[in-house]
Amino acid sequence: MHPALQGLLTIAIGVGACIGYFYFSNIILDKVIFPARGQNAGRNINRANLVRPWLFLLPGLLALGLYLAYPVVETLRLSLTDRDLGGAYVGLENYRKMSGDPKFWEAMRNNAFWLLVVPAMSTAFGLLVAQLTDRIRWGSIAKSLIFMPMAISFVGAAVIWKLVYDARPLGTEQIGILNAIYLALGGDQPMNWLTIPFWNNFFLMVVLIWIQTGFAMVILSAALRGVPEETIEAAIVDGANPFQIFFRIKVPQIMGTIVVVWTTITIVVLKVFDIVFAMTNGQWETQVLANYMYDQLFRARDWGVGSAAAMVIMLLVTPILVWNVYNARKEMK
């Protein structure tokens, strides 16, 4: 069967099964198990209403449990076992092995830089664009153009930026814009930007900053609009200049949103995989955790160390996870 047909069939079966499940489970609940008839009608209605939420939630909870909650526990278990020994418990052996691997520490170092640079730059650029486009007439067009990279895949972005970084031998025409500019400004040699250890990390980060700035801009732009006019008016009356208004009045009032944007991008950074995989594949000292983990799992076939690396990512995400849950609970009260 052609996969496209198979896809259509899956939609039909999937959607049909979902609707069928919800419809019939409700009918069975109301008509068969707890019928709203006879002497127990009142009690039955109440009982049915106690069960019904779980009917609605069941498929979602099953999928979440199986595809997200269980893997967290299972990965933790795998990280403490050795596949070659038939899955025997080996304690922290995998973690010890991993911490003896220079590639792991390279990934940790690079991730630290990614975590410092990308959220900061994306948020800063996003804030800058949000503020600048706020009052100009073509601001919405400008915003939508800067937002556009959000729709482009990491892999597509990798190709786009590889062309920017392209290097041709000296004497031939440069087709990468960066080298063309570099030579025009007096550089003496075309540079292979992606193979210069340490600095190449920053050339990779540029790609993610380019993508994430749009996200930061959209959220921060909405937040800036929400800043009460009175506070700004009062500042103007007091003789504040535009920079003071921005840094002393507006930014403090949207600090909460800035934190949200920052943490959201931080999570994206921790999971960054495609960009490194497509552009350097961790060569020339550009390894990051997610790619290191992929290497361990599918190239070295070492599930133990791979799972340990995944747990490190999970560990780094946990503070943000706790913070988010805490805030969500606070908001619901």
Q: Which of residues 95-114 bind other proteins (CB under 8 A)?
A: none
Among 167, 218, 254, 288, binds other proteins (CB under 8 A): 218
Handedness of CA 39, 42, 48, 51 (dihedral sign): negative
Please report how close the Cβ of residue 187 comes to other proteins at its closest, in angstroms: 15
Comparing CB distances to other proteins, the nearer of 60 and 86 is: 60
Q: How far is CA 180 from the centre of its chain?
A: 33
What residues between 63 and 82 interact with other proteins by CB under 8 A?
Answer: 63-64, 66-72, 74-75, 78
Q: What is the largest CA-CA distance in the chain?
A: 95
Name the strand (E) or helix (H) holding 12. Answer: helix 3-27
Please report how close the Cβ of residue 141 comes to other proteins at its closest, in angstroms: 8
Q: What is the DSSP letter of 151?
A: G
Contact 147, 217 (CB under 8 A): yes
Among 177, 234, 255, 300, binds other proteins (CB under 8 A): 177
Based on the shown chain and the rule CB under 8 A, indicate whether residue 236 belongs to the binding site for other proteins: yes
| Spatial distance between the Cα atoms of 75 and 158, rounded to a whole number of angstroms | 30
Residue 79 backbone phi and psi in degrees, to 5: -70, -15
What residues between 254 and 273 interact with other proteins by CB under 8 A?
Answer: 256-257, 260-261, 264, 267, 270-271, 273
Question: Tokens 């009690």 belong to which residue?
Answer: 43
Contact 231, 254 (CB under 8 A): no
Based on the shown chain and the rule CB under 8 A, indicate whether residue 306 belongs to the binding site for other proteins: yes
Based on the shown chain and the rule CB under 8 A, indicate whether residue 151 belongs to the binding site for other proteins: yes
Based on the shown chain and the rule CB under 8 A, indicate whether residue 249 belongs to the binding site for other proteins: no
Closest residue by Cα to residue 260 from 213, 220, 226: 220
Among 28, 88, 116, 160, binds other proteins (CB under 8 A): 160
Among 28, 33, 61, 112, binds other proteins (CB under 8 A): 61
Based on the shown chain and the rule CB under 8 A, indicate whether residue 192 belongs to the binding site for other proteins: no
What residues between 29 and 48 interact with other proteins by CB under 8 A?
Answer: 30
